[in-house]
Structure 1
């Protein structure tokens, strides 16, 4: 049998079309697709198909318990017009959000019924009955660009009821970096001069190259394209899944399907693909993605329940989020002994726990077997409120932020369903105010892990007040052994996603550890060793001058000479690695507020990097400050200056975080306790540790720099204290857990020395290419 030349048509595109047809899609030739859009390549919706389906799925609209009506022809046309008129002038993502809301929520139109004007919602897709929708696929869907008469032609486009829902680029596997090329094509197509008129409707974008694949949604940078894999509860479930996929892969198309598929440009390879039907073929990676993401039931589920808009970005769930929510829902719909079983979702930091929480709240709110759910989301992220509110619009649920403990009590005690956001302090206060236990098993408490060790998510007081409530904790670090037996009473571990897995999936970047200085002990020996280490890049004259400036002995960990020396080293390190070459930033962790201010003063004096200090008010203790320790004059002056500049402590914190995230300066943000948990900024790349951290706090702190960003290969931990000893202790401590062995935290840190040792081999491999 002659094998055709390697073209994306043969090796990737045709098998994809075969698989999609076996999944229930009807193949349209390019000519057919053009006819359904009126022969206009500027039209991206197959209007004739859409018009027909809108009449069918909107033919029985209930207007009362006894009366039904249908959407008028005029409003069918209005519905098509509204869907076509996306607000591109407001920005691409705004247009995508408008399209998404129309597709998922429908559009209300006024209609005259028996002399009365009533508002009736037109639905574009029947989300409840999958079979009522039409699924089509076409190839080479030529679309006119926005700024010229030129055209781009995506390889495959999937339509639901004539609306382009999924766009796929197929590449042959033998070209250089096929996935990179496919993703680049998607991103090119979504530029302002591209074919946004098509992509604005798309909910999932796929890049396929036979044994490689990845997926994303609108305007997702290459670095954030995701890996998909199935997760199974049992071995038999996995066996059944693989058998079903293999059966679909080896089901031949019908004669009529083959006649249509191979009627035009694929005609000369039909014999090759006919011959393949006599062999048993194993599913490829692209088959796994098509089955996992595009089979009709899964596709509708992903679109409706697992896409959201977050601060001007459109996001789709990663596989670990999708399956964690599915596993959680499987257990909480069951009522045993008068209550629902909760538990802990342990997904390593940086893998999207906050989005998982919002999606889980939506899933609970929409579960038909839970009639009047009260959902309390306990978090310290106030910016989640808007995200939660917008996401849960689809459920028809009102979301309220409980600004006081008393208001939270009222909401919990009311008989109506509700979704409430609050912070941990107010939640704990509300629990104490409730005198009579609330015994409903439809109360769900979703708790962010950031404060688990402070207040105890699973404490006895909560059990007494909410005896039948379902508690679900989202954690980025494993439970301490002392917490674990208590957690089991609430269901134990629901799902895990380890550091190693997240790095493998490229959901986070690996962390490189470098110990710059061992922890110093105050003694009578001179500081020569210390200064020689931090002043290595200086000339002999500069070293002498440097040492002369700071020769006074003091308590070494608080001494100004040590702070200056570390500030100098940080300045050079940041300048040499990131300054001016990248948008990346750093975070400096100190032991006390007064030392944070000193670091800022010395960094300013050195004049190489810009920095700001973010600390608590002078009334609050941070880090290693004693409860009886009075604020220094330096702290008082600094705090007064910040309040004069920003007005309030809240504005001071908000303004500094905003500047760190969105402006060039500051390059380094200096903290004591703030921003060590829950702070999410992908440009944050290097963590300078100058204080002792332990346990959860240590693991949470180092994860501040593991978020993915374009051109960011690693996060860096530069240790000036000797914290690694404590990290070793933490890893050993966690490995004693029954459900967590040493492998669970494998890959948490990689020593930079280990990476340097790999360089000779990498150098050799590079020369082998030439």
Structure 2
């Protein structure tokens, strides 16, 4: 590890090892992860490739699998004990199943294991089958009861996937049960008593099998005692743990049930509320569209009002960002109405994904007939896509990979097993309870760059205002409160943090006496540590304000003057941030949330002063950079911009000529220090940094001999040699003469070793036969022509270190 690239830090760790320092928690974690037996175990059994992407088990997956293996190794009364693995949704449950199946297959104490993966729905069965195939694991899908029997009786070692109702057919066809204790049944979402691990047909077919239930939601209270008979909980990984680990994003809940009630009063009340920020022309256009609601019945008016609110909410907060939404409706007919009204309003794009007309969905009656409108829509989809599967696959593919649709409208489809990290907002317009509710809201908890939360916007009143413990709501009453910890948070709890986030930004500038002195803010942010605090606190303030601006309650409870103050301050601070990033050339990556901040600016801050941050202009582009500098007001600000951009250039080029760039880096630091200590004026500061920038760009100074002009690699070797001989030779002329000769000869040696017809040999930097020979040749030259010839007190270690520096420079320059 320390022999090549990190050799310079070896001394630090050697010294640290001699000290008596207590191990930290991080030290303990690293030791337990990297000790040889654990590392080999992880490499052997807990690494898989999914679609070419190498993945290693997370800690909860590792411990769930090792606990399961410990449990199943020794059969009890002819049967291996099983149990329940409860890992919250979004934490990699499908990959846990793949890893567990792999671990069982590799277990030495289990001969010829037969592994069956059981789900309760065809779409989940397909999803798990795809996951296994993506990971390169052999898998057979049993689509009929007879095929299931054939696969169970075969000697194939492929994993079998099937759905629960195939066991009913298997029981009728089997002459006698399969009694092997080496059959392992992994049941997805197996906590549901009507199927899963409690299914009678499955136990009749496989009486001695080991049953392991995999669930992403907690067990019902009433099922816990029954589950104990099957081995109880093997391992749990709760929502609360997953959020703390950042394996999923936290979910924020906002009740907007009041939107439905608005139609009980004149519909103009709602129009007034939503049109407040618009111009007169926009209000007139909106009024024309909104008058459509007068022609609708009460039920349709509610759908229309909610469709308006969804359109505005999504447009104002998410449109133009990568993030998408799902709208959950109570029936196919209602879903079709939402689609129609969203299209009429015209603010967002949407698609509707439903089951065939005769399949019951949502709150539809089993005896109700589908409307002609639903049948016509279905026929249109079949004409367009061909089959129900292609219809679903095409819409999902568009949602995942195209800008449109922005909103996917569903009834029951995609409420489980649908994983798309960009899916961020779930609009609920129907009742959901228990496991279905928990599975549905987890559709928006996947981690995605720039996504801080998933949002549940409830128009039905599933949880009202979320002011009670979750178990007290009828929709979640069947769970224990401890199991629901961290599932949802009220959006208002996050919004309450806004005043504090606002104050924390202003607190950075509390020493500024005149708040109108713009230059004072930039000067105070001269220190990188202070700027870093400013960037971080501003980001938190901006994100919290964006969250607040999306909430109906915030606008109802906070006065307009306070909201305007927040917006004005954000505008001021964003402009300041843009200026100081340019002034001090900060290489800060804001890509994860810059789009969201820009969305906030576009929607709520009407100003041209806040600029989108773009890449910094390189000082090599003289005309562009000069134009940028000229636009900067004040000699000090101009000098800061030149100094910081020059320092950035030096940092980027340091490895190409360490001695040269170190020298100018120190000169630049000295100049900045003199200005900060008021020893030079703004004009002198600007003049000096311009001179330093020009010297750095030309890559020369008076100390470099003319013989080296045009040979940049030799220049770098010359500088390093002068540094290396500084304490060995006092006479400057002698030192520079030796260094000049050494630079020319050693550069010739390097070129002879690494160039082929004037071009670098491919990957020579990684070939020890090339670099090793170079080390020897350069070392021999230093011994014979420098140390011995001039009788210098150079040690072998010093000459080796010099040779290594020369080769490191060559690796950068000749590539």
What interval of TM-score do these two structures reach, taking the shorter chain for normalisation?
Answer: 0.5 to 0.7
Shift of 1:413: 3.0
Quote the Cα distance in structure 2 between the aligned partners of 1:345 and 1:662: 32
Match of 1:401 in 2: 141
Shift of 1:552: 5.2
Contact 1:424 1:451 in 2 (8 A): no
Question: 1:523 and 1:645, CA in 2 relative to 1: closer, same or farther beyond 3 A?
Answer: closer
Match of 1:694 in 2: 433
Contact 2:254 2:465 in 1 (8 A): no
- Describe the SS at the equivalent of 1:550: helix
Shift of 1:765: 2.1
Match of 1:225 in 2: none
Match of 1:640 in 2: 379
Match of 2:22 in 1: 281
Match of 1:612 in 2: 351
Deviations 1:507-560 (A, max 9, x none): 000011111224857997655666666666567656754663223574x4xx22
Deviations 1:418-468 (A, max 9, x none): 421223343454345434222111111111118936534312332222211
Shift of 1:665: 1.0
1:749 aligns with 2:450: no
1:357 aligns with 2:100: no
**After superposition, where does 1:115-154 map in structure 2 within 5 Å?**
140=5
Quote the Cα distance in structure 2 between the aligned partners of 1:360 and 1:490: 18
Which of 282, 294, 298 pairs up with 1:551?
Answer: 294
Match of 2:66 in 1: 326
Question: 1:454 and 1:577, CA in 2 relative to 1: closer, same or farther beyond 3 A?
Answer: farther
Which of 405, 409, 432 pairs up with 1:670?
Answer: 409
Question: 1:678 and 1:432, CA in 2 relative to 1: closer, same or farther beyond 3 A?
Answer: farther
Question: 1:387 and 1:692, CA in 2 relative to 1: closer, same or farther beyond 3 A?
Answer: closer
Question: 1:708 and 1:674, CA in 2 relative to 1: closer, same or farther beyond 3 A?
Answer: same
Question: 1:271 and 1:390, CA in 2 relative to 1: closer, same or farther beyond 3 A?
Answer: closer
Could you state the TM-score of these two structures normalised by the residue count of structure 2?
0.57
Question: 1:601 and 1:378, CA in 2 relative to 1: closer, same or farther beyond 3 A?
Answer: same
Quote the Cα distance in structure 1 between the aligned partners of 2:342 and 2:52: 34
Quote the Cα distance in structure 1 between the aligned partners of 2:12 and 2:79: 60
1:652 aligns with 2:391: yes
Which of 456, 462, 472 pairs up with 1:723?
Answer: 462
Which of 322, 325, 328 pairs up with 1:586?
Answer: 325
Shift of 1:722: 0.8
Quote the Cα distance in structure 2 between the aligned partners of 1:735 and 1:543: 37
Quote the Cα distance in structure 1 between the aligned partners of 2:40 and 2:12: 33
Quote the Cα distance in structure 1 between the aligned partners of 2:214 and 2:465: 24
Question: 1:528 and 1:274, CA in 2 relative to 1: closer, same or farther beyond 3 A?
Answer: closer
Quote the Cα distance in structure 2 between the aligned partners of 1:640 and 1:734: 38
- The count of corresponding residues between Structure 1 and Structure 2 is 501
Shift of 1:290: 2.7
Contact 2:255 2:465 in 1 (8 A): no
Query: Relative to total residues, which structure has the larger strand share, 1 or 2?
Result: 1
Contact 1:592 1:622 in 2 (8 A): yes
Match of 2:179 in 1: 439
Quote the Cα distance in structure 2 between the aligned partners of 1:729 and 1:616: 35
Question: 1:341 and 1:268, CA in 2 relative to 1: closer, same or farther beyond 3 A?
Answer: closer
1:515 aligns with 2:258: no
Match of 2:217 in 1: 477
Shift of 1:606: 1.4
Match of 2:128 in 1: 384
**After superposition, where does 1:751-766 map in structure 2 within 5 Å?**
751-766=490-505
Deviations 1:263-305 (A, max 9, x none): x7458658853651xx2422351x2343232222222222222
Shift of 1:414: 3.7
Which of 565, 583, 604 pairs up with 2:305?
Answer: 565
Shift of 1:707: 0.0
Deviations 1:131-161 (A, max 9, x none): xxxxxxxxx2xxxxxxxxxxxxxx5xxxxxx
Contact 1:613 1:670 in 2 (8 A): yes
Match of 1:410 in 2: 150
- Describe the SS at the equivalent of 1:288: helix
Quote the Cα distance in structure 1 between the aligned partners of 2:190 and 2:326: 19
Contact 1:405 1:430 in 2 (8 A): yes
Which of 293, 312, 327 pairs up with 2:33?
Answer: 293
Shift of 1:764: 1.9
Structure 2 unaligned runs (5+)? 510-815
Deviations 1:223-263 (A, max 9, x none): xxxxxxxxxxxxxxxxxxxxxxxxxxxxxxxxxxxxxxxxx
Match of 2:761 in 1: none
Match of 1:158 in 2: none
Query: Relative to total residues, which structure has the larger helix share, 1 or 2?
Result: 2
With 423-432 and 317-326 compared, the bigger mean Cα shift is at 423-432
Quote the Cα distance in structure 2 between the aligned partners of 1:614 and 1:706: 21
Which of 460, 473, 477 pairs up with 2:200?
Answer: 460
Which of 160, 166, 169 pairs up with 1:420?
Answer: 160
Deviations 1:684-709 (A, max 9, x none): 00001111111111111000000000
Shift of 1:713: 0.5
Quote the Cα distance in structure 2 between the aligned partners of 1:376 and 1:722: 40
Quote the Cα distance in structure 2 between the aligned partners of 1:500 and 1:269: 39
Deviations 1:607-635 (A, max 9, x none): 11111000000110100111111111110
Contact 1:534 1:565 in 2 (8 A): no
Structure 1 unaligned runs (5+)? 1-26, 31-139, 141-154, 156-263
Shift of 1:496: 0.7
Match of 2:340 in 1: 601
With 521-530 and 684-693 compared, the bigger mean Cα shift is at 521-530
Shift of 1:731: 2.6
Quote the Cα distance in structure 2 between the aligned partners of 1:692 and 1:312: 40
Quote the Cα distance in structure 1 between the aligned partners of 2:378 and 2:172: 34
Match of 1:29 in 2: 3
Could you state the TM-score of these two structures normalised by the residue count of structure 1?
0.61
Shift of 1:488: 1.4
- Describe the SS at the equivalent of 1:457: helix
Shift of 1:401: 1.8
Shift of 1:337: 1.4
C-alpha RMSD of the superposition: 3.0
